[in-house]
Chain A
């Protein structure tokens, strides 16, 4: 058979036809009443069905229903989309192969549940990455609506907007307007995400990095990411640095809270649309996303007039996820 189950050509790294899969082990053909549909379909009979309709649920078409009846937990183990992780997963290959080898093609719900196979497009991998339904084209929402929901979720309008006089709303990070390197990939077929890559420079490190702001929803995770990015360069920084005092400060790992509150000796700042350098963390995340152009991890000594934020406990707004 040229194509296994659901388009094996599209499934990368699949385990082929011989792997068994842990997630499938709880469901066997005997257990799952839906799979034993061969029997149930044979009792489908028009006259009996008329009785079954509307009178009650669970009584009706005699023997067939008994089979499907009180299976309780096992029935609840009906495979859902979650059981079929999509991208490059060996489970999908084994699912498809077990279905095609163990049952006739017409009666297996497993083959039906090969939702992951076939149309492997970049859309689907992004959809999986988004943690949304991992089934291709499911739920059936128009791509345009899906894209704008995804974009909206990344840019929450918080109540803080209500108390601010908002300047002209000409900014939209989803549009590819110059400075913040935002690009909408909604137009590219299959991509759901709009990415917002901004440059990050750390004082003392000549080579900068870039970070995708749209993959974060609060300051904490961003700071964590930055710490991961620059922590490995600390040895490089040490070797570059000649001054003693800065060297001491560099010894500590830059933890997120230290980045955000300045106690590491560094402050996290950003350049906004107007070209001003601002301290990260003052405004709600959504507003920050709207106005940030690039980031700079600045030595505290250069951040004149910025008090260390050790005692500040307004982490609520900063750290609030969506």
Chain B
């Protein structure tokens, strides 16, 4: 393969964009490995503990964009203790000491401190884009540093982070010379915002395409903002409450008519439904609608809104839409590709919920559906079989029946057949989350049919070690397996230890694995970190038969991590 000079190879590789393809390219031969790594600009690290910053920097000197993920997925549900890890500080320190001109940093489930943000903002001169998803540990002080020091900032996107709000002044820290903003999302901030500063910022950002406001931004300000930025493509409203007979509301109605580019709409964190008609004119253009935080829109108002959104491709809503509302979605949104239905009733107050009927209606009406997250009261095998037949294109299928181990309410059977139908029919399925009553049989089906499956989430399911073994044996492309409250023990864990090096990670909590089993695994597989989370000091060092409550293992190039807290044992 040495017919071409490096530049030609590089040019060819420019067309190879996806991480996986580029990783594959780098394995062909040494030459390709070298050319690829020197020209690589975007790197995705699915587990920040799988390698070290130094390794990354050494291999990819041209790095411009880095994505890092920290804590295991179940940390989202409070299953991982607070100080478990996932700190971004070492990465930022290493990057700032290197010659890497990083421009974009995307973090998920990591601990980000104000110091990290300040260091980032001061040491990376060309920094343009910061995206933080489900992170924690920082405050508006850190945001102020980013605003003040990143002269070429284009994107500041904060999604569902826990941020301590010390003041709304961070917005004022954007200097007047900052006119490069393209995307600003601070919807998750809980505190006040300097509204005047916000309006001025929008006014001097002609390239602004995406703006998501927080609850503290009132409708008057929204009106002013839309006047200045009718070119917005993505809008998240803040507080959407006003008197529909007011001057302000009337102005808003007219202003919105000019916003012909809006394709994504979200927010409505507080909403007065009688003000919704103002947005009707843009509904037909919408391809993405997120009302999953809009608890104030329900019933007929919600349905009226949805009926106008014929071009929706992505819809996130609360289950107060009900089965009837989902039927409206099915008949209106023929282009729907992704649907997420979240529960609204976590306090047990008895709001409407959805059942299998809503899902069946959706599957019948929306043949392009490929991604689903569905929280429901119940599900039947019959419904799942119909859904599988209607929608063979599922890539992500995540079903959460709210009551653990609930069977098919009609037949009282486990849901093995239903999920079996899904995996058999959906040949491109990459992600699956199970719920309801399930025996080992469903895992046999999964092992047999889910050939493309990469991520599987299991809770309260299965009868024996066989379940887990079917999956480990059958799913060749499995990368992430997370299991909680299942009866899998050491036999399941230890039968195929080599498998874990082909995966990113395995999480098992409230299962039957023992300390001895985990130790054996750790001994046989030195390139895995087998971590036990010993939260309440309940584990005794000597006793091998004691059950391990939480185990998280992952492959790594760099051995046990040095920042593990006391309650995390790396075996």
Residues of B within 8 A of A135 (CB): 404
Interface residue ranges of A101-125 to B (CB < 8 Å): 105-109, 111-115, 117-121, 123-124
Contact A10 B441, beta carbon cutoff 8 Å = no
A166 and B242 contacting across the interface, CB-CB below 8 Å: yes
Interface class of chain B by DSSP: loop
Q: With contacts A78-B406, A150-B346 known, is A54 near B539, CB below 8 A? A: no
> Which of A37, A117, A164 is close to B243, meaning CB atoms less than 8 Å apart?
A164
Partner of B545, one of A1, A40, A44, A153: A1
In the bound assembly, the distance between CA atoms of A184 and B242 in angstroms comes to 26
Most A CB contacts (10 A, CB to CB) among B188, B461, B465, B538 go to B538
Proximity bits, A65-86, B CB within 8 Å = 1, else 0: 0001001100110111110000
Binds B, one of A18-26, A186-194, A237-245, A305-313: A186-194
Q: Which chain B residue has the least Cβ–Cβ distance from A103?
A: B487
Known A-B contacts A9-B538, A189-B82; the reply to A2 vs B543 at CB < 8 A is yes
Does B559 have its Cβ within 8 Å of any Cβ on chain A? no
With both chains docked as a complex, state the minimum distance between the C-beta of A194 and any C-beta of chain B, in angstroms: 10
| Residue of B164, B402, B463 touching A107 (CB-CB under 8 A) | B463
Contact A132 B346 (CB under 8 A): yes
Mark each residue of chain A from 32 to 65: 1 if its CB lies under 8 Å from any CB of chain B, else 0.
0010011011001010010011100110110000
B74 to chain A, nearest CB (A): 7
Say which one of B6-14, B28-36, B97-105, B414-422 lies at the interface with A. Answer: B414-422
Provide the residues of chain B in CB contact with A40, threshold 8 Å: 439, 463
Would A113 and B485 be within 8 Å (CB), given that A107-B464, A119-B549 are in contact?
yes
- B258 interfacial contact with A, CB 8 Å: no
B414 touches A68 (CB 8 A): yes
- Asked whether any CB of chain B lies closer than 8 Å to the CB of A207, the reply is no
Q: Which single residue of chain A is at the shortest CB-CB distance from B238?
A: A169
Most buried by A among B160, B162, B487: B487
Contact A152 B295 (CB under 8 A): yes
Q: Which residues of B, 392-444, contact A by the 8 Å Cβ criterion?
A: 400, 402-408, 411-414, 417, 420-421, 424, 433, 437, 439-441, 444
State whether B349 touches A144 (Cβ < 8 A).
Answer: no
Q: Are B412 and A72 in contact (CB under 8 A)?
A: yes
Does A133 sit within 8 A of B, measured CB to CB?
Answer: yes
Find out whether the CB atom of A162 lies under 8 angstroms from the CB atom of B244.
yes
Report if A322 contacts B (CB, 8 A): yes
A96 to B218, CA, bound (A): 52
Give Cα distance in the complex from A266 to B405, angstroms. 53
Q: Which of B296, B342, B349 contacts A145 (CB 8 A)?
A: B342
| Chain B residue contacts of A60, Cβ below 8 A | 417
Residues of chain B within 8 A of A157, CB atoms compared: 241, 270-272, 296
| Nearest-Cβ distance from residue A33 to partner chain B, whole angstroms | 9
- Pair A54/B421 contact, Cβ less than 8 Å: yes
Tell me which of B411, B445, B510 has the highest count of chain A C-beta atoms within 10 A of its own C-beta: B510
CB-based contact A119/B79 at 8 Å: yes
A142–B485 contact, CB under 8 A? no
From A170-178, A222-230, A272-280, give the one contacting chain B: A170-178
Assess the B188–A144 pair: CB atoms within 8 A: yes
A103 to B272, CA, bound (A): 56
Contact status B421-A53, CB under 8 Å = yes
B134 touches A (CB below 8 Å) = yes
- Given the complex of chains A and B, what is the CA–CA distance between A129 and B141 in angstroms? 34
Render B153-170 as a binary contact track against A, CB cut-off 8 A, 1 for contact. Answer: 000000011101100000
If the complex has contacts A148-B293, A169-B239, are A1 and B546 also in contact, measured as CB distance less than 8 A?
A: yes
Q: Check B343–A53 contact: CB distance below 8 A.
A: no
Are B295 and A76 in touch, CB under 8 angstroms? no
* Cα of A114 to Cα of B509 in the assembled complex, Å: 11
Q: Mark B275-309, 1 if CB is under 8 A from A, else 0.
A: 10000000000000000110110000000000000
In the complex, what distance in Å separates the CA atom of A19 from the CA atom of B115?
53
Among residues of A, the one whose C-beta sits closest to the C-beta of B415 is A57
Question: What A residues does B549 contact at CB under 8 A?
Answer: 3, 6-7, 117-119
| Residues of chain B within 8 A of A119, CB atoms compared | 78-79, 509, 535, 549-550
CB distance from B66 to the nearest CB of A (A): 23
**What's the Cα separation between A319 and B512 when bound, in Å?**
50
Assuming the contacts A41-B464, A144-B160, A169-B216, asked whether A7 and B538 have C-beta atoms less than 8 A apart, the reply is yes
| B325 interface hit (Cβ, 8 Å) | no
A137 and B487 in contact, given A10-B538, A61-B441 (Cβ under 8 angstroms): no
Given the known interface contacts A115-B510, A144-B134, the answer about A109 and B405 at a Cβ–Cβ threshold of 8 Å is yes
User: Whose C-beta in chain A lies nearest to the C-beta of B163?
Assistant: A187
A122 to B441 alpha-carbon distance, docked (Å): 36
In the bound assembly, the distance between CA atoms of A7 and B457 in angstroms comes to: 22
How far, in angstroms, from A162 to B243 measured CA to CA in the complex?
A: 5
- A61 surroundings in chain B (CB, below 8 A): 441
A2 touches B539 (CB 8 A): yes
CB neighbours (8 Å) of A132 from chain B are 346-348
- Closest B-chain residue to A46, C-beta based? B444
Indicate if the CB atoms of B78 and A123 lie closer than 8 Å: yes
Among A52, A138, A184, A322, the residue within 8 A (CB) of B459 is A138
Q: Is A206 among interface residues, defined by CB-CB distance under 8 A?
A: no
> How many Å lie between the Cα of A136 and that of B509 in the bound state?
11
The answer to whether B441 and A121 touch across the interface, beta carbons within 8 angstroms, is no
15 new A-B contacts, CB < 8 A, other than A34-B414, A152-B295, are: A1-B545, A40-B439, A53-B424, A53-B445, A72-B412, A80-B404, A106-B465, A111-B487, A112-B462, A139-B346, A141-B77, A141-B343, A148-B269, A149-B295, A170-B218
Contacts A/B (CB < 8 Å), 24 sampled: A7-B536, A10-B535, A41-B466, A54-B421, A78-B406, A79-B405, A108-B487, A109-B405, A119-B549, A130-B348, A138-B404, A139-B343, A139-B400, A143-B77, A144-B134, A153-B346, A157-B270, A157-B296, A159-B274, A166-B242, A169-B219, A170-B216, A172-B215, A175-B191
A interface with B by C-beta (< 8 Å):
1-3, 5-10, 34, 37-38, 40-41, 44, 46, 49, 52-54, 57-58, 60-61, 68, 71-72, 75-76, 78-82, 105-109, 111-115, 117-121, 123-124, 130-133, 135-146, 148-150, 152-153, 157, 159, 161-166, 168-170, 172, 174-175, 177, 184, 186-187, 189-190, 322
